[in-house]
Structure formats: C-alpha cells, structure tokens
Structure 1
Amino acid sequence: MHLAFPFLALGLLALSDAASYNCGNSESSDDIRDLFLNFHNDARRRVAKGEEPNKQGKLNPAKNMHKLSWNCEMEKRAQEHIKTCSGGLVNFGSWGANTMS
C-alpha cells in the first residue's frame, strides 16, 4: 500500500520550481521525494527530446513537456486517499490523477 503512494503522488504534481519541500509528512522523506521526482522528470525529459524508445524506434518529441516539482498539498491528499485502499478513481478538482493496476 505504501509503495503506491509515490506513484500516485507523482501523478498529482503541480508545476513549479520549489527549492525545498517542507511538507511535514512523516510518512515520506525529502530523499524519497527527490528519488521519485527525479526519476519522473528524467523520463519526461527523454520523451520531450524524442529519446524514449518504443516498438518502432523512438517516440516523437513532446511539445510543452514541463518539468514537475513536488506539491505538498497533493502529497497529503494522495496519502489520505491511499489509506482508504478503495482503488477507485479520485476527483481532486482541477488536479489530475494517474492510476495503474
């Protein structure tokens, strides 16, 4: 259950360039946030540059692929949702969510 949190949270990131997190969530650390955020941004960078492989060679370069940064409010909401283990779709208002099963 806790392993799902970083993946859900990554899908709920806001766009900005925050220097530090200061989220105050004891269930996650800044090192973990950095690990998942950097992994996700590296993947997005490869897509944006047209370097990400697919079955026919490489994906076409993306347009307007912005760098993501962590959003503490979304982390909090994602953690609350994960604790219910409902597995259903979530409505976070103007924020989107990526889910996988």
Structure 2
Amino acid sequence: MPKPADPAQTPCVSYDDNERIRRICIRVAEHSRGGQDRAVRKRIFDVTGTLLRECHLHTRPLDLATMECASIEQVLSDLSLLRKNLNVGTGYFPPTIRLRFQQNNQEAA
C-alpha cells in the first residue's frame, strides 16, 4: 500500500503569490473575448490559474508581482507559450523557450 504524500514536502504557493495569481487570472478573464459569458470567463480563470501555479511551482518560478502590473499583452504572451508548451502532467517545459516573467530570467533547477 503506497504511503500518503508528506504534506510538509508538498510544494505549495504562498498566500501572497496565490493572491497575485488570482488577480492575474481576473485580469485575463476580464480581457477575454468571451467576456460576457460567465462560463467562458470561469474556464479562462481556471486554466490561467492552473498554468501559472504549475509553472511557478514545478517548472520555472515566475515574477508574479511584475506580471500582475505588466500590460495584458505581455501577460497573454507568456500564457500563450505556457498553454502551447507546458505539460501540466509532467511539469515539462522546453528549456529553449524563455518566458518574459520567469524570475532572474533563468530556468528552474
């Protein structure tokens, strides 16, 4: 029988980072073309949150404070790269692709 994961070792997003991600998701959802449809906005919010959390925790730490204040076009550019290239299941993101908002402009170890 497999052992349950140790909660102390489970990576998680800090409260501040989680709030930044939430605010970025709101901006992206409000900017969407389907802005009038609540279901579409919710889906965009959920997908954006998943991409940002997975990338920030498992692939490349993001400068969420800068991302939160950046132009929506810059945010959407990184999200587009994540959506096309990030494997959420494995956490794989091609090392040759650079994100505008990755911290210190370096890959995660």
TM-score category of the 2 structures, normalised to the smaller one = 0.3 to 0.5
Q: What TM-score comes out, normalization by structure 1 length?
A: 0.34
Question: Where is the helix percentage greater, Structure 1 or Structure 2?
Answer: 2
Q: What TM-score comes out, normalization by structure 2 length?
A: 0.32
Q: Which has the higher contact order (CA 8 A, sep 6+)?
A: 1
